[in-house]
Structure formats: C-alpha cells, structure tokens
Amino acid sequence: MCDFTGGVAPEITKRRPVVVVGPRLPGRSRLYAVVPLSGARPRVARAYHVRLPSNPHPGEADARPVWAKCDLLQNVSIDRLDRFRLGAGRYTAARRLDAETLEAVRAGMLAALGLAEGRST
C-alpha cells in the first residue's frame, strides 16, 4: 500500500496498492519506484494499462480484476509505503508478482514513458 495523499489530480491522491518495480539503488535507499494498482477498468485500454492475471491483494479474491496503471509510475519515499491491513491490528505484505507479470508491467512503464520498442518517432 502507498499513501499518495497530498497529490494533485489527475495524480493519485489516496492510499492505493502498488507494485514496487525497481531495486534499491545506491544513494537512494529510501526511494522506491512504484506503479499504482486499481480495480477500475480503464475507460480506454492503452499499452500502459496492464491487467494482472490475479489480484495481489492478500485480503481480496484472486479473481478480482486489477490493473497496473503504468502511466502513473512514481518514485516515493519508503515512509509512504506500508503493508496491507487485514483488520484487528493484523498486517501482511502483498504477494509477489511472477516474472511474466512483472515483465508486462515493465513493458507498460516503457509505453507510458514513450520508450516502448517499435514506437514510431
């Protein structure tokens, strides 16, 4: 989960599940690159919207549709990140994405940045 409060629309402005998409880098150990997740189907599907094959939220049904909104990629402080709350003071981390799904999210990020292979210039 990531707390995006303080953002300005059309940025994400509330708590939202995320995929951490990058490793810790030297000199920026408190920053993480994240892609927010949403249960809302995109109005118009684009290459930067990636439907996940299963819901990574540990407290919800696996079959619930979830999209990675790769066009909203951000670097955020570790202080904005938290585990999922399951109620009664219980917390847990999200499930890991498999390699194929993570690769699809990374391809969506490249599309969002205009860096996808085969794009016309």
Whether domain 2-112 has CATH 3.40.50.620: the reply is: no
Average pLDDT over residues 20-25: 85
* Cβ burial 62-94 (10 Å sphere, 16+ → b, else e): eeeebbbbbbbbbebeeebeeebeeeeeeeeeb
* Percent of the chain residues past pLDDT 70, beyond the cut: 95
Which amino acid does the sequence have at 70? Answer: C
pLDDT interval class at 117 (50, 70, 90):
confident
pLDDT in tens, 36-94: 999 999 999 999 999 999 988 887 888 999 999 999 999 999 888 888 777 777 777 77
Question: Per-domain residue ranges for the chain?
Answer: 2-112
pLDDT in tens, 40-49: 999 999 999 9
Question: Which pLDDT value is given to residue 110?
Answer: 97
pLDDT interval class at 119 (50, 70, 90):
low
Among residues 20, 22, 23, 17, which one has the least CA distance to residue 4?
17
